[in-house]
Amino acid sequence: GRQKKAKKGLLQILGEQYGPDAGTNPCFQGLREQFGLPEDATPTQMAAAVLSGGSPDDSNGAQLATPTRPGTGPTAALTPNAVHNMYTTMGNEEARGAPHKPVLQVLRLELEGNGFWCLDLSDGKNYLSGSLNPSLAHLVNDSTIEQYSTVRILEFVVEESPDNGGRYCLVYEAETAGPNPGRKIGDPFWLADDVVNRIVKMDRRATSHALEVFTQFDDNAEEAGSLMRHGVVDLLLAMIKRGFRADCMTIKEK
């Protein structure tokens, strides 16, 4: 809703100040060059480009990034809904076959104490935690894979964690999918399925994350809506109720 209002406001300003030929006005040459717009770009195309952060021809909006280094060509588009699909199929043989080799972006990359490189993988909409097989450590050491890199996952499996109820992706084989865009693509958030499954197991990080999302609702409206559709509000209220009853029993016993 806010984006529609913003687009309407931009169109109104362009129309009032520059008329229907606003796109051809020389004042907007820099804007056209920045977003790769044609010389005869319409005010609607210009407004859409500004709001989406990319060319109006990018139907997926945040799914495509432009590399920071000129002359290297565009970064590969991220695979839509890949994180959810990987999470639900858990990387079985059908999912790991040739048709399913998703392109994802590395958001977080950290070396854990056990020697594994842990990372968050994003499809531009959602992200999921995972780790690289030790045989792929050389890709990090030679900076082939780093933060914000786009990678094509050639072989993986998604496993359940016995400790917190969540799932994580083990990457066995991967390759770079183009130049590093140098920034996060889209505005991805933690996959709601994983958050809810972890909350059920009383995972502190997932519970704190969900509460923070609702505390800052205006900044996280889309993620909050996703969590609500997955029943996280009822789940949190049930947890609070159980905790309250437990506290009452403890006080009564004392």
pLDDT at 168 over 50: yes
* Mean pLDDT of the 27-41 span: 62
- Kindly tell me the burial class for residue 118, based on how many C-beta atoms sit within 10 Å of its own C-beta (0-12, 13-18, 19 or more): middle
Task: Report the C-alpha gap between 162 and 145 in whole angstroms.
Answer: 28
Phi/psi for 99 (5° steps) reads: -65, -20
Higher pLDDT, 11 or 60: 11
* Mean pLDDT of the 155-162 span: 88
What pLDDT score was predicted for residue 59?
A: 37
Judge contact between 132 and 171, C-beta under 8 A. Answer: yes
The pTM for the full model equals 0.64
pLDDT at 12 over 90: no
pLDDT at 39 over 50: yes
What pLDDT score was predicted for residue 5?
A: 55
What pLDDT score was predicted for residue 162?
A: 79
Strand 103-111, strand 126-132: pairing: unpaired
Task: Report the C-alpha gap between 161 and 150 in whole angstroms.
Answer: 26
Higher pLDDT, 19 or 242: 242
Which of the residue ranges 85-99, 161-175, 190-204 would you say has the lowest mean pLDDT?
Answer: 85-99
What pLDDT score was predicted for residue 17?
A: 46
What pLDDT score was predicted for residue 30?
A: 57
By C-alpha distance, which of 123, 144, 145, 197 is closest to 131?
145
What pLDDT score was predicted for residue 164?
A: 85
List, as own/partner pairs, every contact residues 100-104 make where C-beta atoms lie below 8 angstroms and the sequence separation is at least 24, other chains included.
Answer: 101/152, 101/153, 101/154, 102/78, 102/152, 102/153, 103/76, 103/77, 103/78, 103/79, 103/150, 103/151, 103/152, 103/153, 103/177, 104/78, 104/79, 104/150, 104/151, 104/153
Residues of the chain above pLDDT 90, percent? 41
Strand-pairing partners, residue 131, are: 118, 170
* Mean pLDDT of the 1-6 span: 56
Task: Report the C-alpha gap between 169 and 86 in whole angstroms.
Answer: 8
Which of the residue ranges 1-15, 103-117, 198-212, 234-248 would you say has the lowest mean pLDDT?
Answer: 1-15
By C-alpha distance, which of 75, 73, 66 is closest to 34?
66
